[in-house]
Structure 1
Amino acid sequence: MRVFIFISKYLKLHYNLDIILFFKFPKKYKKQFVFQIKILYNKNIKRTQITNT
């Protein structure tokens, strides 16, 4: 749960709906949602790396 909370804070308010769906329908959305978060997280890391250098 700590990791999930960290990621949700990291992604901020843009993905609130996905977070709500994740908690309401965990079985249905879990795989899709985790995959989505990985993509978004990777994109954000790439962005920060580009801006830092």
Structure 2
Amino acid sequence: MNDEEQYSVWPHGTPVPAGWRSTGFSGDETTCLAHIDEVWTDLRPRGLREWLATRS
């Protein structure tokens, strides 16, 4: 996950690039993508969600 709470899949054993952090979840690609579908329900970046929340 990055600072904007967006998700990506990285191969096991590959260093996580700068700006990203591990969520601790692991598995094969299908399992990881299913997990992302489950937890990443609002695809808007965190900054946009926060900005919109101040507008209402």
Tell me whether the two structures share a fold, i.e. TM-score over 0.5: no
Larger Rg: 2
The two structures have a TM-score, normalised by structure 1, of 0.36
Larger RCO: Structure 1 or Structure 2 (Cα < 8 Å, ≥ 6 residues apart)? 2
